[in-house]
Amino acid sequence: MRPVLVLNGPNLGRLGSREPDVYGADTLEDLAALCRATGRELGLSVEVRQTDDEAELIGWIHEAADGKIPVVLNPAAFTHYSYALRDAIAQRTAPLVEVHISNPNAREEFRHTSVVAAVATGTIAGFGMRSYVLALQAIAELPE
């Protein structure tokens, strides 16, 4: 099975309790279970990780680049200002799909800019947890 990393940035460990009107009631563990189940259906071996630490997230992106591992990435707040994360993503050697649970363009103006979108394979946003399912489906359909 093709390995895929599903990486989540800051505050996503608070899913289920963080702004449920925006992010829903599902927890990070619910999301991880959904991603693993979707991966099995698609022939992908999915590993889900979350960190509030920018350096750790960048290290995981380097790991994926070194291993030619596709990534589904929700950079969370790092989306809007982390040039270090953007530069790490630019080194990718496999598809990387940026995902967001909510639609950043329908929210506060500071969320309208993604510094990582230009170096991602594509972006899926606004479909709740289904954004991850759609991203995994895209990864499964893209050539290795």
CATH of the domain at 84: 3.40.50.9100
Radius of gyration of the chain (CA): 14
Region 136-141: mean pLDDT is 98
Query: Of residues 23 and 102, which shows the higher confidence score?
Result: 102
111 is in an annotated binding site: yes
Enter the pTM of the model: 0.92
Region 25-54: mean pLDDT is 96
**Would you place residue 26 in the very low, low, confident or very high pLDDT band (cuts 50, 70, 90)?**
confident
Backbone angles phi, psi at 85, to 5 degrees: -65, -40
Instruction: Count structural domains, the chain.
Output: 1
**Would you place residue 83 in the very low, low, confident or very high pLDDT band (cuts 50, 70, 90)?**
very high
Q: What pLDDT is attached to residue 23?
A: 63
Question: So which residues are the catalytic ones?
Answer: 23, 100
What percent of the chain has a predicted confidence (pLDDT) above 90?
76
Alpha-carbon distance of 17 to 82, in angstroms, equals 25
**Would you place residue 13 in the very low, low, confident or very high pLDDT band (cuts 50, 70, 90)?**
confident
User: Whole domain around residue 43: which residue ranges?
Assistant: 2-141
Give the Å distances, CA to CA, from 9 to 17, 28, 72, 89, 109: 16, 11, 11, 14, 20
**Would you place residue 57 in the very low, low, confident or very high pLDDT band (cuts 50, 70, 90)?**
very high
Q: What pLDDT is attached to residue 106?
A: 61
Region 62-66: mean pLDDT is 98
101 is in an annotated binding site: yes
82 is in an annotated binding site: no
Q: What pLDDT is attached to residue 16?
A: 77
